[in-house]
Structure 1
């Protein structure tokens, strides 16, 4: 496999903390308004005002046609007030986690985007749905399948959409992966490999708290590798996995979660994928090839917010980078307005958590093959 230029820490953090300067306008298919949606803007409230909501999601709203910021939900009153002033929100549009249920009385809020640690997702998603709001839940969907089931059930009972924050579903390089995987003249892909990781600093960030995060790099960044492999396999999920947690080089930091983990996924039809994720080293790539290796695809950088590059056995990918968050948000708004199901719904998020649970079970059992349960 070709070696990609490694990310420096500055480059990695830059890509993950501010909207990429290379991000361009939305694809034409997402910009073209329909008669059913033209002129309508839905109000969205962010639950959780951390770096991702502040630096990626909120600025992306300005690049959408059918969304506006209508409220915030936060555990820090001063932060809520800063957002209220910055986005000229009306009085009464700032909620705490304790008062989240009162969004039911605010007709200006149509959607709640939950951008808090995964261990809090179930409670906030269920309450937002019961308040009569559509919900977007940031990935990973939850820390366990049982919580995913409760979230899906709550939104279904409320008659509201539940979307998961899979921004790469809308990214052009990954969409080309979908197309080539389905092209009988190029695919199908039979061997895949990918990795995503970075060096986690010390201290006690929530990502090192198992109760809040559900695990370490696997659910945080490894989930992108799982998603890419699933797409390379033609949109199906793996039927079985084997996995290994690697020895910790900084055990004083990783007291609750893994530092590095590798896994193999088996897909229907015989395709396999090798995955890697780590909080101790940098990697950011994906490769897929057909049975004889003559047709192949590489993306690297593969998972960050911008600056993605791709090439295939036919040549460079002739696609551009976009604002991934804007594309994701705009499509969810259109799904609500057009009454069509989001393509990145709760069932997709649930299946990924089922894969992650199986990977952890295999690693805990010394690499034993573990079948992935279906829906």
Structure 2
């Protein structure tokens, strides 16, 4: 990766901009007559993949203070027309999956948010990087750790940022629990439980196609418990064990997991017990236990509002639109060199992919799989 100084010089940021205070996540919830003028640089984003989550991100960007939706990339012409009309996107900023490499010559686009099926992320992010644009990639960042690392390497070579769409890393109640853990209010962390699941619908959707998803529930909802275990415990796991249960082999064919339970061990001796499933509703719960206290969040990773309580009482941080805060904070990371309280860079994504790889290996071998992180 280029040094911060070199990157800022390339981005054209001034000394005045560097002296600006870092962005408060809650500023994303305030509006002014022209909020984008409040900052030296606005992150101009093109969204790749105009499905349901791409639409959610686009709507959230409308409330951003320093991020603007300026382009689209889609394989569906009718969606491009619809988005152009709805969001006032110029025709010159609209691309399809075959020609989007031309963004290299478009100075109006700073970054591309890749929100496509998991198996497409690697090649698309690498193409974005080669075009000289910053890449924001929805999670999971790839279908395995090797592909994720290739994405990190390509962005490093191109001197651009690779950020992963970990919206929970900016959510106020989540960050309050992380603060309590860091400041010792929970004591020594002993145990984490993460429950992530819902009953999936349409059996023909891409999430149930292993060629596009790279798996099943684990590659969709299970990653929340994996990532949550890491930022809640505050350590990287050193081993994993896992077990799979499949009750519907027709809907959940070979290569598509239905339900997986997995366990993580950490250097301190803390352990995590987690569940990922496409066959049970009402599973969105984190529980963290320490020698001096505890925290419970339910819902813990849904679109909101996130609710929870600790041994000190209810969590009462402000309710925010996750993607609005995420995008403005990512603008601060890219342009101001701000560091997220919980990292959202490509290396963070690779760590989750290494754990997922190990979980699938543990299921096949029936044994404990050791984990190492470089």
Distance 2:81 2:316 in 1: 44
- Secondary structure in structure 2 of the residue aligned to 1:190: strand
Cα deviation code 1:32-72 (max 9, x no counterpart): 99xx9725322100010000011x10011111111111110
Q: Please list, as runs of the form range in 1=range in 2, the aligned pairs for 1:6-45 lying within 5 A after superposition.
A: 26-28=25-27, 38-45=39-46
Aligned twin of 2:240 = 241
- Once the two structures are TM-superposed, the CA of residue 318 in structure 1 deviates from its matched residue by 2.1
Distance 1:85 1:28 in 2: 28
Q: Which runs of 5+ in 2 are unaligned?
A: 1-23
Aligned twin of 2:82 = 82
Distance 1:329 1:31 in 2: 14
Distance 1:212 1:189 in 2: 37
Q: Please list, as runs of the form range in 1=range in 2, the aligned pairs for 1:277-356 lying within 5 A after superposition.
A: 277-282=276-281, 283-291=283-291, 295-340=293-338, 343-356=343-356
Distance 1:61 1:133 in 2: 19
Confirm or deny: 8 A CA contact 2:129 2:158 kept in the other structure.
Answer: yes
Aligned twin of 1:228 = 228
Aligned twin of 2:206 = 206
CA RMSD of aligned residues (A): 2.1
- Once the two structures are TM-superposed, the CA of residue 313 in structure 1 deviates from its matched residue by 1.1
Give the number of aligned pairs.
344
Q: Which runs of 5+ in 1 are unaligned?
A: 1-24
Confirm or deny: 8 A CA contact 2:242 2:362 kept in the other structure.
Answer: yes
Aligned twin of 1:158 = 158
After superposition, the Cα gap between the structure-2 partners of 1:92 and 1:333, relative to the gap in structure 1 and judged at 3 Å, is same
Confirm or deny: 8 A CA contact 2:44 2:69 kept in the other structure.
Answer: yes
Confirm or deny: 8 A CA contact 2:27 2:65 kept in the other structure.
Answer: no
- Secondary structure in structure 1 of the residue aligned to 2:221: helix
Confirm or deny: 8 A CA contact 2:171 2:320 kept in the other structure.
Answer: yes
Distance 2:310 2:339 in 1: 32
Distance 2:363 2:30 in 1: 44
- Once the two structures are TM-superposed, the CA of residue 30 in structure 1 deviates from its matched residue by 8.8
Confirm or deny: 8 A CA contact 1:81 1:94 kept in the other structure.
Answer: no
Distance 2:116 2:305 in 1: 26
**TM-score with structure 1 setting the length:** 0.87
After superposition, the Cα gap between the structure-2 partners of 1:286 and 1:270, relative to the gap in structure 1 and judged at 3 Å, is same
Aligned twin of 2:53 = 52
- Secondary structure in structure 1 of the residue aligned to 2:306: coil
Aligned twin of 1:9 = none
Confirm or deny: 8 A CA contact 2:29 2:64 kept in the other structure.
Answer: no
**TM-score with structure 2 setting the length:** 0.88
Confirm or deny: 8 A CA contact 1:26 1:323 kept in the other structure.
Answer: no
Aligned twin of 2:95 = 95
Regions of 4+ moved over 6 Å:
29-33
Aligned twin of 1:141 = 141
Distance 1:345 1:40 in 2: 20
Confirm or deny: 8 A CA contact 2:28 2:328 kept in the other structure.
Answer: no
Aligned twin of 2:373 = 374
- Secondary structure in structure 1 of the residue aligned to 2:91: coil
- Once the two structures are TM-superposed, the CA of residue 341 in structure 1 deviates from its matched residue by 5.5
Distance 1:42 1:289 in 2: 39
